C-alpha cells in the first residue's frame, strides 16, 4: 500500500503564487506587499506580469502590515507576504491593531511556517504563530494541508471582506484533499471515518495523520482522521462528535503544543464533552536546528508517535 508520505510531493508556495496571479488578472485591486521577499514568496512571475502592483517595503515587517492596511483603506485587496516567523513576531502589534481591530480587508500570508527553515534555527522557526494569532479577535487563521486546499483558501480569502492569516507551506507535501474539495471556514474535513479513536491534524502533518491511520488499521484500530484547516473559527461540533463517538483525540501539528490546534481541541472538550486528548507538537522549548522532517520526527510529530497515542487511548477506554 502506498502511504501518504510516499506520494508525489508539492511546494504549496508555487500554488499560492499561481492562484494569486490568476486572481489578479481578473481583479485590478489585488496587490502584493512584501518585505524583500519576492523570491521566497514565489512572486517573481506575479511581479513580472504586474510590476506596478508589487510594493516592496524592504526588511520592515511592521511597515509592511501598515502599508497593507493603508492599501485596504484605499479599496485595494493587499496580500501581505513574508516569512511567517517575521510577519507574526515582528509585526504582531500591527496585525492586532491595523489589521484585526481596524477590520482591514488585508490578507496576511505567512510563508514557510512551522520549522520549514529548520537549519536556520529558533530565530526562523514559526511555531508560536497559531497560539498568539488565534487570541486576536476578528482574525481568521487558516492552515492549508496541501496545494488543492491552498488554492481554495487563497481564492476564498480574496473574496472575504476582512483580515485573514494563511500559513503557506515550504516543506513539500502530498495531495490529501479530495478532488472536489471546497474550502469552508470553520469546517473540519473528515478524510477517513473511524469509530475507535480520532486524529485531528492541520497543515503539513495531515498526511502523517493519514499514514498513522493506515498503520493503525493494520492492527485493527479504526481511526477517524479530521483535517482542521481553520484554527479560527474552529469546528467545535466536529471535535465534540469525535469526543462522544471515539475513545479520545490525538492532535498533530507543526506548531507549539501551547495554544495551537491541541490547545483549542482541549479547550473545546473541557467545555463541551470531556474526553482524553493527546497533543503532539513541539514542546515548550526552542527547537534546535535541523531539517524540517528531522525536527518533526525528533519531536514525535509523525505516524509512529500518533499510532502509539492511538493505542494508548484505545487501551484506556
Q: Is residue 49 annotated as part of the catalytic site, yes or no?
A: no
Q: In what helix (H) or strand (E) does residue 193 lie, and over which residues does it extend? A: none
Neighbour count for residue 294 (Cβ, 10 Å): 14
Neighbour count for residue 40 (Cβ, 10 Å): 17
Longest pairwise C-alpha distance within the chain: 61
How far apart (Å, rounded) are the C-alpha atoms in residues 73 and 105?
A: 8
Q: Are 147 and 168 in contact (CB under 8 A)?
A: no
Among 61, 152, 211, 214, the active-site one is: 61
Q: Supply 67's cell numbers.
A: 502599508
Q: Count of residues for the chain? A: 317
Q: Supply 244's cell numbers.
A: 462522544
Q: Supply 152's cell numbers.
A: 481554495
* Residues forming beta bridges with residue 192, ordered by sequence position: 225
Query: Which residues are the active-site residues?
Result: 61
Amino acid at each position: 500500500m502506498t502511504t501518504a508520505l510516499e506520494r508525489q510531493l508539492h511546494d504549496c508556495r508555487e500554488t499560492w503564487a499561481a492562484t494569486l496571479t490568476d486572481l489578479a488578472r481578473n481583479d485590478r485591486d489585488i496587490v502584493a506587499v512584501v518585505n524583500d521577499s519576492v523570491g521566497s514568496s514565489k512572486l517573481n512571475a506575479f511581479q513580472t506580469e504586474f510590476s506596478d502592483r508589487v510594493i516592496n517595503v524592504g526588511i520592515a515587517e511592521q511597515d509592511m502590515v501598515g502599508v497593507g492596511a493603508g492599501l485596504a483603506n484605499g479599496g485595494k485587496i493587499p496580500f501581505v507576504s513574508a516569512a511567517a516567523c517575521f510577519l507574526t513576531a515582528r509585526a504582531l502589534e500591527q496585525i492586532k491593531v491595523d489589521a484585526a481591530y481596524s477590520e482591514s480587508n488585508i490578507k496576511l500570508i505567512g510563508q514557510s511556517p512551522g520549522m520549514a527553515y529548520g537549519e536556520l534555527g529558533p530565530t526562523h522557526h514559526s511555531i508560536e504563530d497559531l497560539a498568539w494569532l488565534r487570541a486576536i479577535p476578528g482574525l481568521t487563521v487558516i492552515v492549508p494541508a496541501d496545494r488543492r486546499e491552498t488554492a481554495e483558501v487563497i481564492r476564498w480569502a480574496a473574496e472575504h471582506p476582512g483580515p485573514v492569516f494563511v500559513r503557506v507551506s515550504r516543506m513539500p507535501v502530498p495531495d490529501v484533499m479530495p478532488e472536489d474539495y471546497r474550502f469552508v471556514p470553520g469546517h473540519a474535513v473528515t478524510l477517513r471515518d473511524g469509530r475507535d479513536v480520532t486524529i485531528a491534524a492541520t497543515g503539513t502533518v495531515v498526511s502523517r495523520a493519514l499514514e498513522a491511520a493506515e498503520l493503525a488499521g493494520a492492527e485493527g484500530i479504526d481511526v477517524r482522521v479530521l483535517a482542521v484547516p481553520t484554527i479560527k473559527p474552529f469546528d467545535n461540533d466536529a471535535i465534540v462528535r469525535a469526543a462522544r463517538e471515539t475513545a479520545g483525540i490525538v492532535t498533530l501539528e507543526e506548531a507549539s503544543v501551547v495554544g495551537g490546534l491541541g490547545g483549542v481541541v482541549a479547550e473545546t472538550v473541557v467545555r463541551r464533552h470531556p474526553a482524553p486528548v493527546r497533543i503532539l507538537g513541539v514542546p515548550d522549548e526552542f527547537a534546535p536546528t535541523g531539517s524540517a522532517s528531522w525536527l518533526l520526527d525528533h519531536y514525535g510529530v509523525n505516524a509512529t508517535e500518533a499510532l502509539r497515542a492511538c493505542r494508548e487511548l484505545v487501551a484506556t477506554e
